[in-house]
Structure 1
């Protein structure tokens, strides 16, 4: 595949719930190996767009073009099976795909190692794991299928600042190692500029993408002070980011 062609392309996506339009005319592209962070006000339809992109929801109008082999998904909640161990949760999509036990075990161990999940924790049930360990398990489950594209739907919102940073580092390292493309949904602009190559800003009312900004340097190689100054400038001087902390309560579930 041409490295400049998009792995994911959303073309004029419209969607509605119960006759009420929640997304209108949204177009966005993500190229191979690129992490694009999608930010915008609460209730603007970011998560709905991610679910449409991943095929979980069917858009009312528009076209989704997926040019990747397989994708993984990481949600805000880990969504682990409570009756299965961490290892079995990671193995779930592999088992569903018919992979044999031996190969499954090797894939699980490799995925766990990539997110710094100790082998001793693979035999524990979700209730025995901390919030951070549960999210590591969820990330490992997404990586176990060796995706070339990953959807992250506000995966670290519920975590404290220090733990959130460690999870971001895992994503940065995994994306660099596997060279997968990703759509990263977040309401945290600091997180967006830290993990992504490019930040796209969704309209307050879900009416398209207002604009994009490419972030200097590469994820994992940027100076924290520089990123802080960049975010401060975005919020203070760049009209594109004027409404990202607004809340449209009528559009929230």
Structure 2
């Protein structure tokens, strides 16, 4: 009597893999031998001192910048991107800005409108504001529109390049919660660039720390619990412990003005 042998299913391929990434501007090395792998559905926050190459690494991963060396493997289907500046087209309404990438996907005008309005609802952008131009929107509303634009393409991965740096604390927290809720609902993974360690531990499953001189990822720490289900007091204590006792975080608030554009 024959028996079939059951073999365990192989783990899913990473959603993003960076291998030996290096980059230079005008002969000056910005990144050198950076390796990084993110699991499917993982939200990772990348922190590090100003000028260490965090944003450059995200732009390379997203395909906006070609690395000088190394390889990028994208295991996801489609990505969205949110920048520090919302980068909305000033001559287009909020609705048209959100729908803009859908034109590149070949959707009809009606489909673009429906998808844009659905994405706007996901980020709590009022329907009455969709016919306004960027100049008529507050900073928080413009950033909501930028997030909606990224979500409208139904991504399974999103890059966030310091999107809330210019916002006040209360608004920043609301938009952090929006990202947490959207990620859980849509089950997308993300690479979130930030210089704010509290923001990193609120949003991410894992915090990655960039080497001071961009020479790879110095290390990472898993944040206990799930984003959206963590106690603020515990997070404040965790950040305090990271900064006071963990040598990995010793230099994350340094600034090398020679490396900052």
Query: Normalising by the residue count of structure 1, what TM-score does the alignment of the two structures yield?
Result: 0.98
TM-superposed CA distance for 1:3, in Å, is 5.6
What does the per-residue CA deviation read over 1:76-121, in whole Å, with 9 as the maximum and x for residues that have no partner? Answer: 0000000000000000000122110111111111100110001111
Contact 1:3 1:31 (C-alpha < 8 Å) held by counterparts: no
Which residue, 195, 202, 206 being the options, matches 2:210? 202
What residue in structure 2 maps to residue 65 of structure 1?
73
Aligned residues: 253
Q: Does 1:41 align with 2:49?
A: yes
Q: C-alpha separation between the residues in 1 aligned to 2:14 and 2:241?
A: 29
Q: How does 1:152-163 map to 2 (within 5 A)?
A: 152-163=160-171
- Structure-2 residue corresponding to 1:98: 106
* 1:38-187 alignment, distance < 5 Å: 38-187=46-195
Q: Secondary structure at the match of 1:205?
A: coil
Q: Is the 8 A contact 1:186 1:192 kept in 2?
A: yes
Q: Give the secondary structure class of the aligned counterpart of 1:226.
A: helix
CA–CA distance in structure 2, aligned partners of residues 127 and 102 of structure 1: 25
1:215 — aligned with what?
223
Among 30, 45, 63, the residue aligned to 2:38: 30
- What 5-or-longer segments of structure 2 have no aligned partner? 1-8
Match of 2:237 in 1: 229
Return the index of the structure with the highest Cα Rg.
2
Cross-structure match for 1:193: 201
Name the SS of the counterpart of 2:130 in structure 1. Answer: helix
Q: Residues 214, 4 of structure 1: CA spacing in aligned structure 2 closer, same or farther, 3 A cutoff?
A: farther
- Tell me the secondary structure at the aligned position of residue 18 of structure 2: strand
Q: CA deviation at 1:2?
A: 6.1
RMSD: 1.0
CA distance in 1, matches of 2:37, 2:15: 8
Segments ≥4 residues shifted beyond 6 Å: none
- Partners of 2:104 and 2:18 in 1: how far apart? 28
Could you tell me how far apart the structure 1 residues matched to 2:53 and 2:134 are?
A: 30
The answer (yes or no) to whether the contact 1:3–1:32 under 8 Å persists in 2 is no
Cα 1:85/1:66, change in 2 over 3 Å: same
Secondary structure in 1 matching 2:114:
helix
Aligned with residue 247 of structure 1, among 218, 240, 255: 255
Tell me by how many angstroms 1:66 deviates: 0.3
The alignment partner of 2:23 has SS state of strand
User: Which consecutive residues of structure 1, in runs of 5 or more, have no partner in the other structure?
Assistant: none
Secondary structure of 1:123's partner?
coil
- State the Cα distance separating 1:4 from its structure 2 match: 4.2
| CA displacement 1:42-81 (0-9 Å, x = unmatched) | 0000000000000000111110000111100000000000
